[in-house]
Amino acid sequence: MKKVILYIVVGVATFAIGYNVNAVYFSDRSPIQPIAFSHKIHAGDNNIPCMYCHIYADKSTVAGVPNVRKCIGCHKIIKQDAPEIQKLTDYWNRKEPIPWIKVHNLPDYVYFPHKRHVKAGVHCQTCHGDVAKMDVLTRVSSLKMGWCLDCHTNGAVAIIGREVKNGKDCWTCHK
Ligand code: HEC
Ligand code: HEC
Ligand code: HEC
Ligand code: HEC
Ligand code: HEC
């Protein structure tokens, strides 16, 4: 019996250490946000489409993050009294944007147009993972040059039936 308890204690401790090391080491991949916004609740449990909030993904270089007005549209009624919603209402009353911390951030010398990818039929999930299951948004892709090139050569064949035209040329991504 004692042995079993010891195993459990060691198991839990190992998990706790592993989890924290992960959270610290990969903190840039899942930063703590100013409001505990959950994609699982919104895009998962409540099936709100990605493009309802990220309205520019098929129109522009950036996908965009929704403004406070969009949140308040629902939350002036939904869960008004919850502490995290009160934080939201405070931003709204102060007319301040929510200072979301970027999870993805390519260097300025890289050109990445969302529109071209979304219009070609690449799913958000292919690059961003199963976001609808994430309580805390986590970056799942390396965003390294090799990641882009690999899809422009091998990956694209599965998605659009051919390699991306000029997909390896330096000036396609470095203007
Ligand atoms: C109700 C609005 C809403 C919906 C629906 C929504 N998002 Fe978001 N999304 C946000 C907000 C707010 C943030 C910024 C906070 C955060 O990172 O969690 C965000 C952040 C993100 C980011 C990270 C942005 C960065 O900083 O790099 C990605 C990627 C993303 N969303 C993808 C998706 C995908 C894919 C879906 C659909 C499965 C989706 N979102 C649905 C509101 C939404
Ligand atoms: C289309 C409607 C809609 C929009 C837009 C929306 N939400 Fe929500 N939100 C919901 C629903 C539904 C729930 C789940 C409520 C429940 O648990 O009963 C929720 C839950 C939440 C919660 C958890 C509240 C708690 O403690 O239980 C937070 C925090 C939150 N939303 C923040 C935001 C933020 C920030 C935005 C804007 C980026 C936003 N929401 C946009 C519908 C919406
Ligand atoms: C081909 C891969 C790919 C696809 C497909 C893709 N994204 Fe992205 N996404 C990225 C990259 C790379 C960045 C980082 C861009 C930067 O830092 O300039 C990013 C950044 C974001 C951001 C942060 C804010 C911004 O606009 O830069 C959001 C939000 C986002 N994506 C949502 C989405 C949604 C929603 C979809 C689907 C409609 C989607 N993405 C499809 C690769 C992709
Ligand atoms: C999962 C696959 C995938 C990934 C990952 C990916 N791409 Fe693409 N990319 C595509 C597809 C598919 C197209 C559209 C090709 C078309 O419409 O002919 C495209 C098109 C482009 C274009 C437009 C090319 C042109 O002809 O103007 C640019 C620029 C681009 N990608 C940059 C990037 C960068 C930068 C990254 C990495 C940060 C990246 N892509 C990651 C699949 C991908
Ligand atoms: C499909 C998009 C894409 C193409 C094509 C591309 N790059 Fe890049 N490149 C990136 C991305 C994304 C980064 C930033 C991430 C990284 O450092 O891996 C980058 C970074 C770089 C860097 C900085 C690396 C460092 O370690 O700081 C150099 C130099 C570079 N690229 C040169 C080139 C050259 C030369 C070519 C043509 C042979 C090329 N790239 C083609 C996407 C691309």
Per-residue pLDDT of the chain (175 residues; tens, 9 = 90+): 455 444 544 444 444 444 444 444 555 799 999 999 999 999 999 999 999 999 999 999 999 999 999 999 999 999 999 999 999 999 999 999 999 999 999 999 999 999 999 999 999 999 999 999 999 999 999 999 999 999 999 999 999 999 999 999 999 999 8
Identify residue 30 by its one-letter amino acid code. S
Tell me the CA–centroid distance for residue 62 and ligand 1, in Å: 12
Tell me the CA–centroid distance for residue 145 and ligand 5, in Å: 5
Count of positions (residues) in the chain: 175
Tell me the CA–centroid distance for residue 147 and ligand 3, in Å: 14
Between the alpha carbon of residue 117 and those of residues 120, 156, 160, the distances in Å are 5, 10, 10
Q: Please answer whether residues 99 and 34 qualify as being in contact, where contact means their C-beta atoms are separated by less than 8 angstroms.
A: yes
Cα 82 from Cα 61, distance rounded (Å): 35
Nearest CA residue ID for atom 37, ligand 2: 71
